[in-house]
Amino acid sequence: MKLREVRQLVQVQAPVLSRSRRVLASAYNVAEYRAAAQRALPPGIFDYLEGGSEDEVTLRRNRDSFDRWGLMPQWGPVTGPDTTTTVLGRVSALPLTLTPTGATRLFHPEGELAVARAAAAAGVPYGLAGLSTVSMENVAAQSPGLERWFNIGLSSDMGYQQAKLDRCAAAGYRALLVGVDTRALGSRERDRKNGFTAPPALTLASLLGIAARPGWWMNFLRADGLRFPNLEPAGTDAGLVTPSVWQQILGHSDASRGWADLETLRAMWPGKIILKGCVNPDDVARAQEIGMDAVQLSNHGGRQLDHMLSPMDVLEESRQRVGGGLELIVDSGIRRGSDIVKALALGADACSVGRPYLYGLAAAGSPGVSRVIEILAEELRRTMTLVGVSSVAELQQRGAGIVRDLRGAAPEARVAASEALREAM
Ligand SMILES: Cc1cc2nc3c(=O)[nH]c(=O)nc-3n(C[C@H](O)[C@H](O)[C@H](O)COP(=O)(O)O)c2cc1C
C-alpha cells in the first residue's frame, strides 16, 4: 500500500505542544482529567484536592455506591434526549451543579473566576465557597449570567451573619448552601503528612514536590497572593491571609449551632436555602418541615466523617420521606453521566460535582472546566439514549424501573438464577 493510500485511510494528528491544549485535545473522560491534574499539580496540592479523611473508607465507598446500581434499558424510540431541567425553580441546561470547593486558586491562578465562567457558559449553577479565593463580588461582576449560590456556615454572631447575607443579596446570589457536615474538621491525613494545615507548615518533601512542578509555582508566584476575601468585610480584598483569618478558617464551623439557628436563617433570608451535607432521612424530613428549599445529600466527598454513608445509600428513602415537596441534589463520587442517570432514577433532582471540575481547572484552566462539564453532558445524553429515555422528566418518571440494586438480591439467589439460565440455554 502506498503512503498516499494509507493517509486516505488513517488520519494522523499533528502533535500539540502546549500541555493544556494537549489535554483538551485528548482527554475524553473525568479520569483522564484527574490524571492530567495529578501531572500538573505539586503532589501535596493534588493530595489536598483528592484526599479523604482518615482511612478514606467513605471516599472509596462513594464510587462503590454508584457501581452497586445496574442500569436496565427499555426498548423503544428515543428523541433528543433533552437534558434541560429546573433546579430551584430556574431552568438549567443539565441536572448538574458545581459544588463549592475552598481555596480554588491553589489549583489554577484564575481559580473561582475560571470555574464561574465555565458554569455560566454551560448554563448550570455554581455554588461559591465561603472560603473562596476570589471575592463573591468579583465572581458576580465577571459572570453576570451565572446562576450563583453561596456557601455559608451558621454563625452565632448575628451581626456578622446579617452582613454576610446582605453581601450575598447585593451581589445577586440567589441561594445559600448551608453546610452542616463540618461541626469539626475531618482529619485529612494526607494534608497533615504534607503540612497542608491552617496555617501551612510545609514539609521538605512538600517543598521538593512544589519545586518539581515549575509550571505550577511560576503561575502561583505571578498571581496575586492567596486570600479569602469573603471572610473579610466587603471591599477589603487587599489583605493577605492574616493570623486572624486563619483563626476564622479553623473556627469556620460552630458545633453548637442547630435547627433553631437554621430556622432563624430561614426568617432572615428570603431567597432559596439548600442544606448541604446530610445523609440522614430524618434530617431531610426535618429540613422540609422548617422550609428549606432543597437538601444536598453529601458526605463532603469523603473529606469529613469517615465511614459516613453515601448519598446513593439513602437517596430512595429520603425521596420517599419528603415526596415531591423538596428538591434533592446529590454529590460525592459522581464521575460519569451514568452516575447522574442513576441518581435521577432514584429520586434526585440534580447532581453536583466537586473534584471533577477541579481536575479540569488544574489541567487546563477554564476551558478544562468547560470540557469536563461537556464530557459529563455527552455521557448523560448517551446513557439516556441507551437506557431509552428522551428527557430528564421521563427519566425521573420511569424512576427506579431503570435501575436494579445489584446487592439487593442475596448472592445465592443470583447464582441460582444464572445457573437456571445456563441450563435453559
Ligand atoms: C478541594 C475541595 C474543597 C472543598 N471545600 C468545600 C467547602 O469549602 N465547603 C463545602 O461545603 N464543601 C467543600 N468541599 C466538598 C464539596 O462541596 C463536595 O461536597 C464534594 O467535593 C463532592 O464530592 P466529589 O468531589 O466526589 O464530587 C470541598 C471539596 C474539595 C474536593
Nearest residue CA, atom 13 of ligand 1? 101
**H helices of 269-387, where?**
281-289, 311-322, 337-345, 355-387
Residue 96: strand pairing partners: 351
- Residue 245 vs residue 268, higher pLDDT: 268
* Distance (Å) from CA 395 to ligand 1 centroid: 27
334 C-beta closer than 6 A to ligand 1? yes
| Ligand 1 lined by 129 (C-beta under 6 Å) | yes
Nearest CA to ligand 1 atom 5: 101
Query: Ligand 1 center to residue 407 CA distance, Å?
Result: 28
C-beta 96 within 6 A of ligand 1: no
Alpha carbon of 165 to ligand 1 centroid (Å)? 22
Domains contained in the chain, CATH given? 19-404 (3.20.20.70)
Active site residue 108: no
Pairing of strands 90-92, 85-87: antiparallel
**Cα–Cα distance between 339 and 346 in angstroms, integer?**
11
Query: Are the C-beta atoms of residues 328 and 352 closer than 8 Å to each other?
Result: no
Stronger pLDDT, 320 or 228, i.e. the higher one: 320
Per-residue confidence at 241, pLDDT binned at 50, 70, 90?
A: low
Candidates 56, 298, 303, 309: which one to mutate for ligand 1, based on the most atoms within 8 Å of Cβ?
Answer: 303
Pocket test residue of 63, 99, 252 for ligand 1, highest count of atoms within 8 A of CB:
99
Q: Which pLDDT tens digit goes with each residue over 127-137?
A: 999 999 999 99
- Burial (CB < 10 A; 0-12, 13-18, 19+), residue 397, is exposed
- Per DSSP, the residues of 365-398 read HHHHHHHHHHHHHHHHHHHHHHHT-SBHHHHHHH
Q: Is 295 in the pocket of ligand 1 (CB under 6 A)?
A: no
pLDDT digits (tens, 9 = 90+) for 283-321: 999 999 999 999 999 999 999 999 999 999 999 999 999
Q: For residues 135 and 229, is the Cβ–Cβ distance under 8 A? A: yes
* Contact 100 CB / ligand 1 (< 6 Å): yes
Alpha carbons 227 and 142: distance in angstroms, whole number: 18
Q: Are 104 and 131 in contact (CB under 8 A)?
A: no
Which set of grid coordinates corresponds to residue 319? 425521596
How many other β-carbons are positioned within 10 Å of the β-carbon of residue 236?
A: 11
Q: 2 CA to middle of ligand 1, Å? A: 55
Nearest CA to ligand 1 atom 30: 101
Instruction: Give the integer Cα–Cα distance in Å for 111 and 114.
Output: 6
Dihedral pair phi/psi, residue 25, rounded to 5°: -80, -25
Length of the chain: 425
Q: How confident is the model at residue 238 (pLDDT cuts 50, 70, 90)?
A: very low
User: What nine digits make up the cell of 115?
Assistant: 470555574
Active-site option among 108, 252, 300, 307: 300
Which of the four pLDDT bands, split at 50, 70 and 90, describes residue 248? low
Measured CA to CA, the distance from residue 178 to residue 275 in angstroms comes to 5
Ligand 1 contact via 354 beta carbon (within 6 Å): yes
42 conformational bin, left if phi > 0, alpha if psi -120 to 50, beta if neither = beta
Give the atom of ligand 1 at the shortest distance from the alpha carbon of 127: 17
Exposure string for 87-123, b = 16+ CB within 10 A, e = fewer: bbeeebebbbbbbbbbbbbbbbbbbbbbbbbbbbbbb
Q: What's the confidence (pLDDT) of residue 414? A: 46
> What percent of the chain clears pLDDT 90, i.e. is strictly above it?
75
Question: In the structure, what pLDDT confidence band is assigned to residue 405 with cuts at 50, 70 and 90?
Answer: very high
279 CB contacts (<8 Å, ≥6 apart)?
297, 298, 299, 308, 309, 310, 311, 313, 314
Please state, in angstroms and as integers, the Cα–Cα distance from residue 361 to each residue in 124, 213, 333, 357, following that order: 16, 16, 18, 6
Cα of 56 to ligand 1 centre, how many Å?
15
Q: Is 254 exposed, middle or buried (0-12, 13-18, 19+ CB in 10 A)?
A: middle
Tell me which of 229-238, 389-398, 410-419 is least confident: 410-419
Q: What is the distance in angstroms between the CA of the first residue and the CA of the last residue of the chain?
A: 46
Phi, psi of 175, deg, nearest 5: -135, 150
Rounded alpha-carbon distances, angstroms, from residue 274 to 1, 5, 95, 174, 291: 64, 60, 16, 11, 10
Ligand 1 pocket member 186 (CB < 6 A): no
Rg over CA atoms, the chain: 22
Closest CA relative to residue 402, chosen from 284, 316, 301, 298 = 316
Helices (H) then strands (E): counts for the chain: 19, 12
The residue to mutate among 101, 126, 252, having the most atoms of ligand 1 within 8 angstroms of its beta carbon, is 101
Q: From ligand 1's centre to the CA of 68, what distance in Å?
A: 23
**For a substitution probing ligand 1, which of 300, 351, 376 has the most ligand atoms within 8 Å of its CB?**
300
